[in-house]
Amino acid sequence: MSASPKSHPIVGILLAAGASRRFGSDKLSHRLPDGTPMAVAAAASLLPVCARVVAVLRPGRDELAAALTAVGCEIVLCPEAEGGMGHSLAAGVRATADAAGWIVALADMPFIASSSHAAVAAALQAGASLAATQYRGRRGHPVGFARTWQNPLAGLTGDQGGKTLLEQHHQKLTLCPVDDPGVVRDIDYPRDLIDAGSGTSPHE
């Protein structure tokens, strides 16, 4: 019998181990107009929804780790992060093996509303196997995984993260419609910050 969410809550995993090559500088520490580092802003919208949030970083990011710790994240270091997002997600899942499920968020998506994270959490709590936001017909982030996906997630490698699982098991995916353009707005280049509120994005 699986553990109940009360004894093993849904955990938030913030993937923050990217190298920011396309951005041209330290993207995740880049300060938004209100002065908040991008990764911290992404964490701030996830923290109210999950009793526990772990941020997965590559080693050597001491300043970013300190900033994320200060707002309430636990830090998980992933030495294999250079190999791709799959390694980072696997590290986060392995570090939270007793979770009832996981909400996986990206640190370069700082404009997601807490209500969107909450919609995915509610879907998991209602029994969804896989869950994700949807904005104007487009699947967005974050993505939720029930505990049954622990072993596949913990074994991920490469750069696909959980995308392959979603594609292979799309019939099990519960979409959560939200009125939040932030769920499809990732920041890859500095220009992406200019029209961040437009609700359109050239990137998946």
- Provide the residue ranges of all domains of the chain, joining segments of one domain with +: 11-193
Q: Give the residue-averaged pLDDT of 178-194.
A: 87
Of the candidates 124, 121, 120, the one whose C-alpha atom is nearest the C-alpha of residue 134 is: 120
Residue 182 has pLDDT above 60, yes or no: yes
Residue 167 tokens, joined: 């594609």
| pLDDT for residue 8 | 64
Q: What's the pLDDT band for 164 if we cut at 50, 70, 90?
A: confident
Percent of the chain scoring above 90 in pLDDT: 73
Maximum average pLDDT range among 5-9, 68-72, 188-192, 196-200 = 68-72
| pLDDT for residue 198 | 38
Residue 2 has pLDDT above 50, yes or no: no
CA distance 14 to 11: 10
Q: Hey, what CATH topology would domain 11-193 get?
A: Spore Coat Polysaccharide Biosynthesis Protein SpsA; Chain A (3.90.550)
Residue 200 has pLDDT above 60, yes or no: no
Q: Which residues pair with 13 in a beta bridge?
A: 54, 104
- Span 63-121, pLDDT tens digits: 999 999 999 999 999 999 989 899 999 999 999 999 999 999 999 999 999 999 999 99
Per the CB < 8 A criterion, the answer to whether 166 and 128 are in contact is no
Lowest mean pLDDT among 25-29, 45-49, 89-93, 169-173: 25-29
Percent of the chain scoring above 70 in pLDDT: 88
Which contacts qualify for 167-171: CB closer than 8 Å, 24 or more apart? 169/129, 169/130
Residue 24 has pLDDT above 70, yes or no: no
